Amino acid sequence: MGQVPGVEAYTAPRISPNGKKLAYSLNSPSYDIWTYDIVRGVKTRLTFASVSGQGDLGPVWSPDSQRIAYTYARAGKFGIYQKPADGSGSEEPLLEGTNIVLYPNDWSSDGKVLAYQQATQGVNGVWMLPLSGERKPSAFVESQLTAFVSAFSPDGKWLAYCSSESGEQKVYVVPFPGPGGKWQISPGGGCYPRWRHDGKELFYLSNDNKIMAVAVSANGPSFVIGAITPLFETLVYRSVLGAYDVTADGQRFIITYEPAQSDAAITLIENWDAQMKRK
């Protein structure tokens, strides 16, 4: 376990699908998207909001690790933009600015759909944005209670998300694009679902700040939930955009935590399974 050198983040970092970089938001003094090359230890500023009160937030990687989608906030309006991850080329609007708060959550593995959360009258719902054709968004999970932080399964057939419909935040899985049933993943409450790349394990953050691992599998139209294992406890910085990320093999976690200072920092936790065996 250790802090990633020189990285202070406002929101949880996201690991690129190829495992080579992080993307995160930093207040500097406007909120901007930065990347961090894990191998070379190099930080690069990707976006350039000009003044305080403007911002680019909530980065999400494309499945080929070539682009990053993010919230584009200007003058009280929120859009979703994308930009090449290497900084070349200009930013491109995927969803134009609106008075409703928008945050991207996840990019489907086939690159065709972006899941995002939309706060209508202060209540978040999960929406889908097709990335071809007319790009007409549609509600996927919407109710009078908050639903947010969604994540596609690696095969694109399931969507995990967080909802407070039971009175406390819990993680659910539903088939994508539906219809079908709904399975509650977190019996004791939790949020921030993340999938292992083979789709056989789903992680979430419990209400008492433990990273949990759930063995999962699909059986036709049914979703099978196996053993739930607490991996480790962490002091995590929770936000509406996320709290941590995990590498494709499920062995290394990137966690935003809030020490006794104004900025949040990124912590890398690795070899967690060996640490557990020693306890």
Q: Tell whether 196 is covered by a domain.
A: no
Report the pLDDT value the prediction gives residue 276, as an integer from 0 to 100. Answer: 43
Domain membership of residue 275 (yes or no) is no
pLDDT attached to residue 258? 63
Residue 168, CA atoms < 13 Å, CB-side half-sphere: 8
The pLDDT score that the predictor gives to residue 271 is: 52
Whether 44 is covered by a domain: the verdict is: yes
Answer whether 153's CB lies under 8 Å from 170's CB: no
**Per the domain annotation, does 7 fall within a domain?**
yes
Strands across the sheet containing 190-195: 190-195, 201-206, 210-219, 222-233
In a domain, 192, yes or no: no
CB-CB contact of 38 with 19 (8 Å): yes
Domain count, the chain: 1
pLDDT digits (tens, 9 = 90+) for 9-43: 666 789 999 999 999 988 767 789 999 998 899 99
For the chain, residues with pLDDT lower than 50 are 1-2, 261-263, 265-266, 269, 272, 274-279
Domain of residue 159, CATH code = 2.120.10.30
* Unique residue bearing structure tokens 């930065």: 34
| Start-to-end C-alpha separation, the chain | 16
Which structural domain, as residue segments, surrounds residue 255? 2-185+236-270
Q: For 76-134, where are the alpha helices, taking DSSP H only?
A: none
Q: Is residue 58 part of a domain?
A: yes
194 in a domain, yes or no?
A: no
Q: Is 85 helix (H, G, I), strand (E, B) or coil?
A: coil
Residue in the block written with tokens 């060996």: 274
Contact call for residues 268 and 252 (beta carbons, < 8 A) = yes
The torsion of the CA quartet 107, 241, 104, 145, rounded to 10 degrees, works out to: 110
Q: Sheet of 264-270: strands edge to edge?
A: 2-9, 264-270, 252-257, 244-246
Entry pTM: 0.87
Q: Which among 56, 117, 123 is positioned nearest to 91, based on CA atoms?
A: 56
